[in-house]
Amino acid sequence: MATLVTESYTPKKWDLAGLQGISDNTLQVHFGLYEGYVKNTNLLNEQLQEKIKAGQTTGADPHFAELTRRLGFEYNGMVLHEYYFDNMTANAAGTPTSGKLHDALAASFGDFDTWKKDFAGVGGMRGVGWAIAFQDPKSGRISNHWITLHEDGNVAGYKPIVVMDVWEHAFLLDYKPAERSKYIESFFANVNWQAAESRLVTPGT
């Protein structure tokens, strides 16, 4: 039998101390939660490798099916947190008034402020999840999406450009549950627009 290739993910580290309106304490708790997703992704993969080795990869096996179903939650929980922490900085340069990302957002929404208002509106939706500005890699158009939990609403093949966590754990130590809009304004104050811009792909490639 061929050797199975197992990839084990290693948690990333960020130096985000001193964000505006998002405390270091919140970040420490949040990094811990993120590491839990990395751990559980690795664990699920290990358990599924055992199923493969044992020849138990049948959809009728409830254990195999449940492990497989959980991949969407754990993988997206890991990956979306990496996009989120990667698109923040304690040295934010302020909202862009020119450049590739500014122009792409303006082309898709009429102007930057209309995009921002729409994105904040998506982030303010009831429930726990994510607001994500995705780029359609074919047309270059950007659209804002609501993701329930971590896995329900992601668009296959689209590029996450600006990623905002709006689970309550992202702000509950700093704001009341009803003050999510204050957290969203803090998020905007800390966006690393350069990092977000670097995610853009050339449409049609």
Question: Residue 102: which region, alpha, beta or left (left: phi > 0; alpha: psi -120 to 50)?
Answer: alpha
Give whichever of 73 and 167 is closer to Fe ion, judged by the CB atom: 167
Whichever of 111 and 179 has its CB closer to Fe ion, that residue is 179
Residues in touch with Fe ion (CB under 5 A):
165, 167
Token code pair at residue 172:
């509950």
Q: How far is the CB of 202 from Fe ion (least distance, A)?
A: 31
As measured in angstroms, the least distance from the Cβ of 129 to Fe ion is: 10
Neighbours of 112 (CB within 10 A): 17
For Fe ion, the closer CB: 169 or 176: 169
The whole-angstrom separation of Cα 87 and Cα 67 is 30
* Minimum CB distance to Fe ion smaller for 138 or for 169: 169
CB of 155 to Fe ion, least distance (A): 20
Counting Cα atoms < 13 Å in the Cβ hemisphere of 194 gives: 4
Nearest residue to Fe ion, by Cβ distance, number only: 165
Minimum Å gap between C-beta 77 and Fe ion is: 8
CB 71 within 8 A of CB 77: no
